[in-house]
Amino acid sequence: MIVDSRTIPVRKRIAIVAHDNRKPELLDWAWENRELLAKNELYGTGTTGKLLEEKLGQTVHRLLSGPLGGDQQVGGMIAEEKIDMLVFFWDPMSAQPHDPDVKALLRLCVVWNIPVASNRASADFLFTSPLMHEDYTAVQIDYSTYLNRKF
């Protein structure tokens, strides 16, 4: 049951993450979308945040590297409603030492109804959506049954 909603504002708080093998593709995509990204508030993990800041000439709130807790920081910010969208170019071909953190982060995006782009095509679709240019009311599933369960 849906019981609540929140507004994702026109100026979105976007977390941007990329595994090492996907950083060049992400940076290329970000450069092509720099005008739209400049209208939003960006957060980046580790090296990705640093590279984005240098490439775009835009402030990126930098978090820890993913394996050092950056993915978990993003997840915490999602749970606190401080992130509105996630762009995460992850590498499906390489095992990552923090794979459980990645899975947990993606799970939180589903729990909190956060739009996620995991590759260039999904990022293009998300960023060309008319919803990027307006406030959006995101519905939230009622988890009270889960929260109030008897042990």
**Catalytic annotation, residues:** 71
DSSP-assigned letters across all residues of 47-108: HHHHHHHHHHTS-EEEE--GGGTHHHHHHHHHHTT---EEEEE--TTS--TTHHHHHHHHHH
Tokens 């999602």, residue located: 78
d(CA 11, CA 42): 10
Residue 87: half-sphere exposure toward Cβ, Cα within 13 Å: 30
Cα end-to-end distance, the chain, whole Å: 22
